[in-house]
């Protein structure tokens, strides 16, 4: 990895919303509607952040029916593993999402 690539990755993670998205995805994969609710923002806003994270290679997407789910892409980024693990747990923020199982299914 070059200094330029690392600098770009750090820029991506320097945004509070994107860093929160990474912390949420550390817990489990999520769709845009779930992330928007958790961040208390709009789906288009979340989509812009996810597009940047995907372009930067930090997240991947997979389609399930009509919904797209996002997850972390850390396989080739060993330099970020310790950093990602040090992010605060978001498990408590995700608890209420599992109670409403019809949201993005």
Specify if 67 maps to a domain.
yes
Specify if 34 maps to a domain.
yes
Q: Give exposure, 34-66, as e/b (b: 16+ Cβ within 10 Å).
A: bbbbbbeeeeeebeebbebbeebebbeeeeeee
Specify if 9 maps to a domain.
yes
d(CA 90, CA 56): 22
- What is the CB neighbour count within 10 angstroms for residue 78? 9
Q: Which two tokens stand for residue 35?
A: 């992330």
Residue 104 confidence (pLDDT): 63
CATH no. for residue 64? 1.10.10.10
Number of separate domains in the chain = 1
Specify if 101 maps to a domain.
no
Residue 1 confidence (pLDDT): 76
Residue 100 confidence (pLDDT): 54
Specify if 93 maps to a domain.
no
Residue-number span of the structural domain to which 34 is assigned: 3-86
Residue 61 confidence (pLDDT): 96
d(CA 80, CA 9): 10
* pLDDT tens sequence for the chain (105 residues): 789 988 999 999 999 999 999 999 999 999 999 999 999 999 999 999 999 999 999 999 999 888 899 999 988 888 899 999 999 999 998 987 755 545 565
Specify if 99 maps to a domain.
no
């Amino acid at each position: 990895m070059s200094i330029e690539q690392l600098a770009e990755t750090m820029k991506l993670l320097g945004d509070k919303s994107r860093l929160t998205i990474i912390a949420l995805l550390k817990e489990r994969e999520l769709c845009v509607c779930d992330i928007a609710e958790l961040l208390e923002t709009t789906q288009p806003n979340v989509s812009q952040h996810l597009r940047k994270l995907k372009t930067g290679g930090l997240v991947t997407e997979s389609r399930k029916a009509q919904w797209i789910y996002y997850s972390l892409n850390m396989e080739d980024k060993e330099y970020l593993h310790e950093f990602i693990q040090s992010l605060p747990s978001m498990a408590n923020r995700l608890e209420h999402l599992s109670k409403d199982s019809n949201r993005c299914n």
